[in-house]
Amino acid sequence: MKNLHNVITIFCMMLILGTVSELKSQDINSVYGSSVSDDNSKIVSVDFPESLKPGEEYAASITFLNTGKNTWSNDKNYMLSLYVESDNKYMSDVWGIKNIAVPKEIHPGEKAILLFKITAPYKEGIYNSRWAMTKDNNYFGEYTVNVIKVGGVSESVNYKMDGNESKFINISVPGSMNADEKYKVSVTIENTGIYPWNSFEGYTLAPVTEPSGILYPDWNTTPVSLSSTIENGQTSSIEFYVTAPSVPGNYTLQYMMKKGDSYFGQISDKINVIVTGKGSSESATGTNNSIFVKLQIPDRLKLNTEEDVSVTIANTGNKAWIKGNEALVMVDGKLNQVTMNSFGIGYIQLPENVQPGEVVTFNFKVKPTETGWQHFQMMMMNKDGSLFGASTEAVEIIVVP
């Protein structure tokens, strides 16, 4: 009888250990992204910062591989979602965004590059930034394991003061400017606090610059005084002038309410402005420079089939581009010209002469000759074969049979 009792005891222990082992195994599979459904994903690459300043923005990206059996699409409720755990569980909008739609249909075996902007919390600390694919709000596949430290000196840390609050409505800024010239800017904002705003009590609309940003007088350094009192509950458009930087390039403008040395309320949208050089001569002398403005290309192409592409470039130098001289060419990831490429692109000639400060759009066709993920990036070239200016954005295009 004693031996039978021992056997029963051992058998029960084995059942318990087996159950615990199975539960642990299930938990590990959940953590590392295994999926018992037909949906699964694998992380290919992640671009997140190790640290941010309070209120700082960052353009993040995650590349997933669809390792399941189903096609991901918006109409089937597939999206990238913030992984709900620890601090994220209680701060679902901790990064200012928690769901990102897939950019297109992602078939099994294909990659999905998801680009999105995160905004660091205003409270310093250590935060999880863990993301995973979801279907109908159910997580599947691998998730990121990034942790971001939020801290350091930031002008926008004191974003809210007792009784002072604001709501950003709109900002109007010209998209292109000539160097050293003045332009009108308008910021519409609502006083959602309990106190009126006026200049003699220290209220201003002030520019916000990134920690690494270059400061330019009358561009991103000068606070704007209020011309009249803005009562609580009142919406007002604050108009003022800025002077474009003297060096051609791509610049940003962004504003926030301030009392004394402390910012408060909502920050405005960040506006990109193309600043071009002066002059309109078609002389051969001068310096070439350019800024990429826009790229339109399908993210999915078919082998040996022509597709329309357009690239828009701004002439930010002080030399006119002459039709037959300057051209648009393909480059690789290291910005070296690629004369033999899978898109069948040679020299894309200018459709017309382009003066300094003007924008030109190249319309042409591509005909891919290789399947798989193909790198697409272009740049302007001088008549002597040297490259100049900024390249277009680098994109990965999937070419299917």
Who wins on pLDDT, 60 or 17? 60
Encode pLDDT of 375-401 as tens digits: 899 999 988 788 998 889 888 888 888
Q: Tokens at residue 91, please?
A: 């701060």
d(CA 201, CA 225): 11
Q: How much is the pLDDT for 117?
A: 86
Q: How much is the pLDDT for 190?
A: 93
Residue 95 main-chain phi, psi, to 5 deg:
-105, 10
Look up the pTM and report it: 0.38
Residue 26: pLDDT over 60:
no
Residue 18: pLDDT over 60:
no
pLDDT grade, residue 6 (50/70/90)? Answer: low
Encode pLDDT of 124-171 as tens digits: 777 878 888 999 888 888 888 778 888 864 333 333 445 788 889 999
Q: What is the mean pLDDT of residues 319-331?
A: 89
Encode pLDDT of 290-309 as tens digits: 988 889 999 889 999 999 99
Beta bridge partners of 166: 191
Question: Do the domains spanning 41-150 and 166-276 agree at the CATH topology level?
Answer: yes
Q: How much is the pLDDT for 30?
A: 31
Q: How much is the pLDDT for 4?
A: 47
pLDDT grade, residue 84 (50/70/90)? Answer: low
First to last CA, the chain: 73
pLDDT grade, residue 373 (50/70/90)? Answer: confident
Assess if CATH 3.40.605.10 describes domain 166-276: no
Residue 23: pLDDT over 50:
no
- DSSP state for residue 27 in the 8-state scheme: H
Q: What would the CATH number be for the domain defined by 290-400?
A: 2.60.40.10
CATH topology of domain 41-150: Immunoglobulin-like (2.60.40)
Q: How much is the pLDDT for 220?
A: 86
- Strand pairing category for 271-276 and 176-178: parallel
Q: Which amino acid is at 185?
A: V
Q: How much is the pLDDT for 140?
A: 87
Helices (H) and strands (E) in the chain, counts: 2, 30
**Cβ burial 100-129 (10 Å sphere, 16+ → b, else e):** bebebbbeeebebbbebebbbbbeeeebbb
Q: What is the mean pLDDT of residues 187-211?
A: 86
The structural domains of the chain, with segments of one domain joined by +, span: 41-150, 166-276, 290-400
Encode pLDDT of 216-255 as tens digits: 888 888 899 887 889 988 999 998 889 888 877 778 899 9
Q: How many CB atoms are closer than 10 A to CB 152?
A: 13
Residue 344: pLDDT over 80:
yes
